[in-house]
Each structure stands twice: as C-alpha cells, then as structure tokens.
Amino acid sequence: MKAARIHSFGGPDVIVVEDVPRPVPSAGELLVRVAAAGVGPWDALIREGMSKVSPPPPLTLGSDLSGVVEEVGPDVTGFKEGDEIYGVTNPQFCGANAEYAIVSAKMTAPRPRRLTHVEAASVPVVAVTAWQMLFDYGTAETKQRVLILGAAGNVGSYAVQLAVHAGLHVVSVVGTKDVAHARALGSETVLDYQAGRFEDAADSVDLVLDTVGGETRERSLNLLKTGGVLVSVVSADPLPKRSDVRSVFFYVEVTSERLIAVSQLLDPGPLTTQVGSVLPLEEIHTAHKMLAGAPHKRGKIVLRVAT
C-alpha cells in the first residue's frame, strides 16, 4: 500500500510516498481503508521532530481520517467490516496518511451521515480540541463571555460555533480577511488583530480560548475577570499567569464519546465543517508547504486518498 512517510526529521521535502506492507490490527484496533485524511499544524511538528508525543522516524504521518473498516482486531466491540468511520489513529497522532491505517477503536466513531469522507476527515482533532477547550477545561456556562483567539482557524471556527450553540457571548479575534467569516459563524463581537490592540476594544470576559499563543495570549490575560480561565492548546511554556485567574494547557484526547457528541451537532446541524484545500495523497508535500504559509484556502487541508 502507499503511505506518506518520513525517515528523518526535516522540512516538507523529507516526506516520501512509498510502498509499505499493509498493517495488521492488534487488540483494540481496526484496519481502515482510508478515504480521506486531514492535515494539521501538529503534523508539521511531528515531521520537524518537535512533537512531544510522536515516535522517532521512520513513521507514517497523519492522524485524522475517514474511511471504511476493512478488518476488526481482537477484543473490539461495536464495529464490523464495512462500517464507515471517522476519527484519529492513535495517541501518537501517526499513521493516517496512507491507503490503509491502523486505528484505535476507542478513538473512532461512525462517520456523520451528512458528511462526505473529505468533510469527515477534516473534523476529529480540531473539533474535539474546541469541545475540550470550552467544556472540559473552560467549564463554560450559558451567558458567559468568551474571547476566542484565532477564531477563524480550524480549532477556532469550531470553538465559536460550539460556544454560540451553548448560549455564550462570543468575542472573536481574527485577521482583517476573516472578519466577515467570524461574524457568519455567529460571533457577537469581532476584533481585527491587524487593526489595533484587540485588548483595548473588548470588555472583560469569563474565558479565553487561545489557538494563537505568544504575545497575543499574554495580552489576552488582562481581559479575564477574576476567577476566569485561560485555556491554551498552543504551548505549555511559558503559560502566562495571574494570581486571580487559572491558566491551563492540554493535549487533545480524542475519544469515541467526544466524536459522537460532535457528530450529534454535525448531522442535524448547527455545526458546519470548514474544508479548505483538498489534494491527492501524492501531493502531501504541497499540503505541508501550505501549513508553513504557502497560499491555500481558509479551512482544513485534506488529502483525498481513495474517494
């Protein structure tokens, strides 16, 4: 089978699409015929050797996928051959950018029926990250005010939609080109980070969700009410601190239960997917150059593998 692999860490050019044996599922695993696979910033971190969770090379890149169960490993219940599923391969976020992938059954759920494989492959990590930011770590409540840094990005767009659906007042921070998009997602207030200091234009908030990091994250801390929470998924160090608020960083934990919770908002709505550039598996180098800033559409980069 074809797989997009790295044999050493480095830039997009270290990726090779090569033939490797089809893997065999062990206990708790599924062998999935991959229809489409998502590409995200963490794939670039793994390729560069900057990830704290991935194994050393050689490895097959990719974590998000949508496809069809080809074989069920021992000790798996709830899935059978032919099931259409979506999810994440494993806690090391590797193995999805290939014609077949081994997937932990506990990180998988039935594919939302309304979505195509390409749309479904765009969802798992970013939607579950947004869900956990808001509900697990932010413990968001109806009518609270939430500031979302990077609200037009892939995690941010889900965070806005989930917060609006949960009845929060959403203040989005985005670039000039994304102001209309952030409004369309349901943001009550949209602040353009390229037009001035967003922190001077916003009222205080109960919760900050950070997908940007750096100085933007530092500056957002001043907007938190006493007792508020800053939830960041960008990096743990150094996490900005203020004595009367809580700051937290976490790595996403994609589970079947969380995927099902997301599916329940995707199938009937109101949640919508944000697919951007779609490329064949063989053009994964281009996808990784897009992660590094090469021109691409807004939304998730997805590799079309067998659709």
Ligand X SMILES: NC(=O)c1ccc[n+]([C@@H]2O[C@H](COP(=O)([O-])OP(=O)(O)OC[C@H]3O[C@@H](n4cnc5c(N)ncnc54)[C@H](OP(=O)(O)O)[C@@H]3O)[C@@H](O)[C@H]2O)c1
Positions touching ligand X (CB under 6 A) are: 40-42, 125-126, 129, 149-150, 152-156, 173-175, 193, 211-212, 216, 233-234, 251-252
Q: Nearest distance from residue 172's CB to ligand X, in Å?
A: 9
Query: 1 vs 248, which CB is nearer to ligand X?
Result: 248
CA–CA separation, 163 and 146 (whole Å): 8
Q: Which residue lies nearer to ligand X by CB, 40 or 87?
A: 40
CB half-sphere exposure, 72, CA atoms < 13 A = 15
Q: Which residue type, as a one-letter code, is found at position 183?
A: R
The minimum distance between CB 259 and ligand X, in angstroms, equals 14
DSSP track, 228-271: EEEEESS--TTPP--TTSEEEE------HHHHHHHHHHHSSSS-
Is the Cβ of residue 72 or residue 255 nearer to ligand X in the bound state? 255
Closer CB to ligand X, 42 or 86, in the complex? 42
Q: What are phi and psi of 35, to 5 degrees?
A: -95, -40
Taking CB positions, which residue lies at the least distance from ligand X?
153
Q: CB–CB of 98/60 below 8 Å? A: yes
Rounded distance, CA 213 to CA 238, Å? 10
Is the CB of 90 or the CB of 129 nearer to ligand X? 129
Residues 6+ apart with CB under 8 A from 234: 210, 211, 212, 213, 214, 217, 249
The least CB distance from residue 126 to ligand X, in Å, is: 5
Q: How far is the CB of 39 from ligand X (least distance, A)?
A: 10
* Least distance to ligand X, CB of residue 130, Å: 9
